[in-house]
Homo-oligomer: A and B are copies of this chain.
């Protein structure tokens, strides 16, 4: 039995997220499983590194699947990219050890969130970034980013009602790069709770607009009350860049 690891790029605009639902047409996982099953003539189920939200994108989502097929990796790649829709591309295929599991073995992830920060909207960047017209206080945002780095209980920055499992996560890096009017926020961490990046982003933006104080971050770590944090920003500015394995 071969274990095949896929690295996948997709534009999430047309999809109800990664995870397969009943209507397999509308999810990334469903699309890929359908094409793989046709290709191998087996019923293929793929294991993703984790879900991505409806409308969110990926440059380096990882998934794996088991197959008896002896098709070469190059042929698989050609087949997949020929039959997958244009907004889903497999850009790497590796053969991995039988016990490799995309979700259990994942040691961390990098996400980016893009903010287009100027009065006039952008035709070409508007579909993959969140438009904020008002000027942001970059110093305050950077100060807030520093407070978020490290090991914290992020329950208050998630859409989880409550959790039996630990909601402590470590953000190893949270930095902002500016290129013209585009701000790119880069999140590197060992794991992210449901909606965590989007709620942190909403909080950072409200701090940058002067609507929330920087100190609020510490309070939310203590109180763990999601309602005190900022709005959840839209999914179309969010990219899963990379999934790490040790």
Contacts and interface: CB of A to CB of B under 8 A. Distances in A.
A162 to B, nearest CB: 36
A123 B81 contact: no
A10 B122 CA distance: 9
Nearest to A88: B123
A11 B86 contact: no
Interface size class of A (residues with CB under 8 A): 20 to 34
Nearest to A90: B120
Interface in A32-89: 57, 59, 77, 81, 86-89
A11 B87 CA distance: 17
Contacts of A11: 123-124
A6 B89 CA distance: 38
Contacts of A122: 9, 89
Nearest to A58: B123
Nearest to A239: B124
Contacts of A87: 123
A122 to B, nearest CB: 7
B81 A121 contact: yes
A86 B121 contact: yes
A10 B123 CA distance: 6
A114 to B, nearest CB: 11
Interface of A: 9-11, 57, 59, 77, 81, 86-91, 120-124, 126, 128
21 contacts: A9-B122, A9-B123, A9-B124, A10-B123, A11-B123, A11-B124, A57-B123, A57-B124, A81-B120, A81-B121, A86-B121, A86-B123, A86-B126, A87-B123, A88-B123, A89-B120, A89-B121, A89-B122, A89-B123, A91-B120, A124-B128
